[in-house]
Amino acid sequence: MHRLLLLLCLLLLSGWVVAGEGADGPTVVRIGVTLDQIVGIDQKAENFSAVYTLRVRYREPALAYEPTPGAPPFRMLTFAKTMERLQAQGVVWPGMFLANQQGRHDLSRQGIRLYPDGEVHYIERATAVFQAPDFDFRDFPFDSQSFYIRAESLLPDSLFVFELLPEHIGVGDQLGEEEWQVFDSAAVVDTVTGADGLGYSRFSLGFQANRHLLYYVVRIFVPMLIILVVSWSTFRLKDYMKRIDIGITVLLLLIAFNFTLGNDLPRLGYLTAVDAFIAGTFVITGAVILVNVQLRIWQHQKREREAERLDRLARIGYWPAYLVGMSTALLLL
C-alpha cells in the first residue's frame, strides 16, 4: 500500500492545486470517477479494461435559464446539444481527456443536467482500456500492482482547475474480477506542466491489487513437488539408469512449465520470482542427472565404495540442494 501512497505523494509535491484557492480566478471543475467493473486485466499488454463513471460539475453562467414553475428543478440535455449551444455562445468549456486510455471507449450512459443558475452536471459511464505501465513482475506471482485512471484538462489552469468530488469517487464492491484482489485505492488532483510551459489540472484515481496465489500453488508448485518427491524416492533404488530416465522426464516437464508460465507474461528484460524458482530446479535437476551418470560409471567400473559414498551424499543432499538452488536463484534477482 505504501508504494501507492508514495506515488500519490510525489504527485502532490509536483504541484497540488489547493482546492478553493483559485476562487476569484479560474473556474473550479469538480470531478469524480468511480470504478464500477473490471472487465479484465491484461498483464501481457500491460493494460486493464474497466467500466467507469465520470462525473463533472461546474457553473457556466451563459447557460443559466429561468425555471418553469412546477417543472423538475433541472433540464436534461444531450451532449451534442450542449456542445452546439456552447459553441454558438462562443464560451469555452472544461474539456478533458483520459490520459492513459487506449483504443476506443464505449459509452453506455451520457447526459447533462442543467440547473437554473447555470450549474452543469455531466455524467458519462463507459468501458475503456487503460494503460498500466507500472507493472513490475519481479515478485511474480507474489507481486502487487498499481493501476490508474487519469483525466487531464484540455485547457490551462488559468482557466479551469480540478477539484475532487469525494462522494462520487471510489471502487465498486462487485468488480467481477476473480484473479486480482483490489486492496487499496485513492484519488488526487494535481497539475502537470505541458510542452507550452502552462499548468494543466489532472485527476487521478489509483488502485492497487494483488493476485490469488492458489492457481500457482495448485497448477505449478504442488505438481512440481510431487514430481520431485517421486524423483527423489527412486534414489532409494540402486537402478541408476532409471534415475537418469526420470531426471530427463523432470527436465522436459520443467521446460513445459517454463513455456506455460512464459506465455502468461510479456517478454521481460528481467527474471521473475517464479522464473528463478524454475531455473534453480532446472540446474539442480541437471546436476542430479550428472551425478547419476557418474554413479553408473563407477558401478560399471566396480568402484563400489566411491559410488556408495556419492550415492548416500546424493540421497541426503537432494532436498538441501533444491532448497539452496531455489534460494540462490531467488536471492540473485
Distance, C-alpha 85 to centroid of its chain: 41
Number of residues that bind a second copy (CB under 8 A): 108
Residue 109 touching a second copy (CB under 8 A): yes
Q: Is residue 332 within a helix (H) or strand (E), and if so which, with residue range?
A: helix 304-332
Residue of 40, 116, 118, 317 interacting with a second copy (CB under 8 A): 40
Cβ nearer to a second copy, comparing 18 with 237:
237
Nearer to a second copy, 18 or 142 (CB): 142
Which of 18, 61, 174, 305: binder of a second copy (CB under 8 A)?
174
User: Which positions from 212 through 271 interact with a second copy, judged by CB under 8 A?
Assistant: 212, 214-215, 218-219, 222-223, 226-227, 229-230, 233-234, 236-239, 241-242, 244, 246-249, 251-255, 258-260, 262, 266-271
Q: Are strands 27-42 and 160-164 parallel, antiparallel or unpaired?
A: parallel
All 3 cell numbers of residue 19? 482546492
**Pairing state between β 75-77 and 180-193:** unpaired
Nearest-5° Cα angle at 32, 150 to 78: 100
| Neighbouring residues of 270: CB distance < 8 A, sequence distance ≥ 6 | 137, 138, 333
Q: Specify the residue, 18 or 80, whose C-beta has the smaller distance to a second copy.
A: 80
Q: Which candidate, 271, 39, 332, places its Cα nearest to that of 136?
A: 271
Interface positions, 17-36, toward a second copy (CB under 8 A): none
Interacting span for a second copy (CB under 8 A) from 6-14, 105-113, 304-312, 321-329: 105-113
Shortest Å, Cβ 177 to a second copy:
8
Per CB under 8 A, 332 contacts a second copy: no
Beta bridge partners, 31, equal 56, 164
Verify binding: residue 118, a second copy, rule CB under 8 A.
Answer: no
Q: CB of 176: closest distance to a second copy in angstroms?
A: 4
Pick the closer one to a second copy by CB: 21 or 194.
194
DSSP annotation of 83 reads: H
Of 54, 21, 27, 19, which is closest to residue 164 (Cα–Cα)?
19
Please choose, from the candidates 251, 248, 252, 246, the residue with its C-alpha nearest in 3D space to the C-alpha of residue 233.
Answer: 246
**Residue from the set 16, 19, 46, 144 that interacts with a second copy by CB under 8 A:** 46
Instruction: Transcribe 182-246 into DSSP letters.
Output: EEEEEEEEEEEE-TTS-EEEEEEEEEEEEE-SHHHIIIIIHHHHHHHHHHHHGGGSS-HHHHHHH
Sign of the CA dihedral 271, 277, 283, 289?
negative
- Whose Cβ is closer to a second copy: residue 18's or residue 240's? 240
Per-residue interface string for the shown chain with a second copy, residues 301-330, x marking contact by CB under 8 A: ------------------------------
Does position 185 bind a second copy by CB under 8 A?
no
Among 278, 293, 281, 290, smallest CA distance to 321 is for 281
Q: How many CB atoms lie within 10 A of CB 328?
A: 14
Residues 78-97 close enough to bind a second copy by CB under 8 A: 78, 81, 83, 86-87, 90-93, 95, 97
Smallest gap from residue 29 Cβ to a second copy (A):
15
Which of 104, 303, 312, 315 binds a second copy (CB under 8 A)? It is: 104
H-helix or E-strand spanning residue 158? none
Smallest gap from residue 266 Cβ to a second copy (A): 4
Residue 77 binding a second copy, by CB under 8 A: yes
Interface pattern 129-158 for a second copy (x via CB under 8 A): --xxx-x------------------xx---
